[in-house]
Amino acid sequence: MKIGITGASGKLGQLVVSKLKEHISAEDIIALVRTPEKVESLGINARTFDYNQPNKLAAALKGIDKLLLISGNEIGKRFLQHSAVINAAKEVGIKHFVYTSLLKADSSTLVLAPEHLNTEKAIKASGLDFTILRNGWYNENYTERVKDTVAHGKLYGSSSDAKISSASREDFAEAAVVVLCEDKHRNKTYELSGDLAFTMEDYASEISKLTGKKIPYVNLPEKEFASVLEQAGLPEPVAAFFAGTHTATLHGDLYDDGNQLNQLIGRPTTTISKSISKAL
């Protein structure tokens, strides 16, 4: 049984590969990546696979039984890119197609949602056996900037007291591995989120507790928050996008209490506190 992993050069993909190697032989895992040299250290076979070259995808999938399509990162281009992968998977008869979607893709107000939902629809229309992993936010979306927050002495945001149930990238990687290794997840859609929800105020308190430095949370209107991010060096579109994700939090888009991630991986999800400690 050969398993192909797209995005294996990315942060989530590398974690998936290293965890998958604990379950199946490295020879049975194939990295499907734009630049095979980038994944040499993973110790698995790699094939060139660029979502933007639809005519070359089916040949690269030959002999692969199960495929994990890790969603691409070029926002706006992804539906076409993902459709090309789905068509190629259908052409070669992939037996199980697994896709990393977005939490509540069918109701989320995040600008990211339509591409994910349309991809989900295309997967279902293809007739392939599938599993949709609707991944919630990564803890690391917050904690990768925690050192800057501590240095600055304040945490800015615009999500008021809305709840966020994120989990670590590692948790989501583990869920993907479980689904790839067990047959009982076919034709299911999972809403994956962390067990313990937190607000930005809670997040600031955790940082304060772990560093011994009082970090207050300052809630701002979305536009003001975006300009604070720009002043901190983020390019304008990135700042606007990130501030928009905070507003989406107000609609409950980053919150879910179904505990499906915990159930899939068979353990509690990684708390934001643990991820802060790791990042510090």
Ligand X SMILES: NC(=O)c1ccc[n+]([C@@H]2O[C@H](COP(=O)([O-])OP(=O)(O)OC[C@H]3O[C@@H](n4cnc5c(N)ncnc54)[C@H](OP(=O)(O)O)[C@@H]3O)[C@@H](O)[C@H]2O)c1
Site of interaction with ligand X (CB under 6 A) = 6-7, 9-13, 33-35, 38, 49-52, 70-74, 81, 100, 135, 137-138, 141
Q: Which is nearer to ligand X, 12 or 64 (CB)?
A: 12
**Alpha carbon 38 to chain centroid, angstroms:** 20
Token pair listed for 157: 């945001």
Q: Which is nearer to ligand X, 38 or 95 (CB)?
A: 38
Q: Which is nearer to ligand X, 54 or 208 (CB)?
A: 54
- Residue number closest to ligand X, CB atom: 10
Please say whether the beta carbons of 149 and 276 come within 8 A: no
CA distance 166 to 255: 8
Q: Which is nearer to ligand X, 53 or 154 (CB)?
A: 53
CB of 172 to ligand X, least distance (A): 7
Please say whether the beta carbons of 124 and 130 come within 8 A: yes
CA distance 18 to 3: 13
Local structure of residue 271 (DSSP, 8 states):
P
CB of 140 to ligand X, least distance (A): 8
Strand, coil or helix: what is 63?
coil
Strand, coil or helix: what is 59?
helix
Q: Which is nearer to ligand X, 49 or 184 (CB)?
A: 49
CB of 153 to ligand X, least distance (A): 26
CB of 9 to ligand X, least distance (A): 3
Q: Is 189 left (phi over 0), alpha (psi -120 to 50) or beta?
A: beta
CB of 164 to ligand X, least distance (A): 11
